[in-house]
Amino acid sequence: MALRLRQLQVVHRHGDRTPLLNIFKGSVNARSEEEETLLWGRQLPTLTQLALLRSKFSVDMGSEAQGSFQQRPFGYLTTRGIEQMTERGDRLRGFCKNEELQLDLVTPEQVQIFSNAYTRTQLSVQALLGGMLRDQPQLNPQVSVLPPEKDIINTYPVFPEIMQMKADLEKDNAEFAAREHEMAPIKQELMKLFPAVDSGQVPFTWLTAADYFVCRRAHMAPYIPGTEVHGDATEKHLGFRFHQFYSHRMILKLVAGRLMHNVLREMQKALWDHSESKKIVIYSGHDVSLLSVLRTMDAEIANDISFWPEYSSALALELLEDENGKFFVRVRLNGEILAIGDAPSGLCSPDRFQDMVSDHIGSLGD
Span 160-209, pLDDT tens digits: 999 999 999 999 999 999 999 999 999 999 999 999 999 999 999 999 99
If asked whether residues 25 and 152 sit together in one domain, one would say yes
Helical H segments across 158-200, by residue range: 161-172, 174-193, 195-198
pLDDT digits 0-9 by tens, 95-123 = 999 999 999 999 999 999 999 999 999 99
If asked whether residues 276 and 233 sit together in one domain, one would say no
If asked whether residues 318 and 254 sit together in one domain, one would say yes
Q: Which residues contact 208 (CB under 8 A, 6 or more apart)?
A: 20, 21, 197, 202
If asked whether residues 252 and 121 sit together in one domain, one would say yes
CATH number at residue 41: 3.40.50.1240
Three-class SS state of 99 = coil
DSSP class of 116? -
Three-class SS state of 231 = helix
If asked whether residues 132 and 169 sit together in one domain, one would say no
If asked whether residues 260 and 139 sit together in one domain, one would say yes
Predicted pLDDT at 65? 46
If asked whether residues 57 and 119 sit together in one domain, one would say yes
**Domain membership of residue 209 as a residue range:** 161-241
Which residue type occupies 112? Q
Model-wide pTM > 0.85: yes
Strands 111-115 and 143-145: parallel
Interatomic CA distance for residues 364 and 344, integer angstroms: 27
If asked whether residues 252 and 233 sit together in one domain, one would say no
- What is the number of domains present in the chain? 2
If asked whether residues 106 and 50 sit together in one domain, one would say yes
Question: Which pLDDT tens digits describe the chain residue by residue (366 residues)?
Answer: 789 999 999 999 999 999 999 999 999 888 999 999 999 999 999 999 999 999 999 999 865 545 555 678 999 999 999 999 999 999 999 999 999 999 999 999 999 999 999 999 999 999 999 999 999 999 999 999 988 889 999 999 999 999 999 999 999 999 999 999 999 999 999 999 999 999 999 999 999 999 999 999 999 999 999 999 999 999 999 999 999 999 999 999 999 999 999 999 999 999 998 888 999 999 999 999 999 999 999 999 999 999 999 999 999 999 999 999 999 999 999 999 999 988 878 899 999 999 999 999 987 656
Q: Which residues sit opposite 114 in a β-bridge?
A: 144, 283
If asked whether residues 313 and 347 sit together in one domain, one would say yes
Where among 209, 241, 273 does a domain terminate?
A: 241
Cβ-count burial 192-222 (b if 16+ within 10 Å, e if not)? ebbbbbeeebbeeebebbbbbbbbbebbeee
- Residue 300 CA neighbour count, 13 Å, CB half: 12
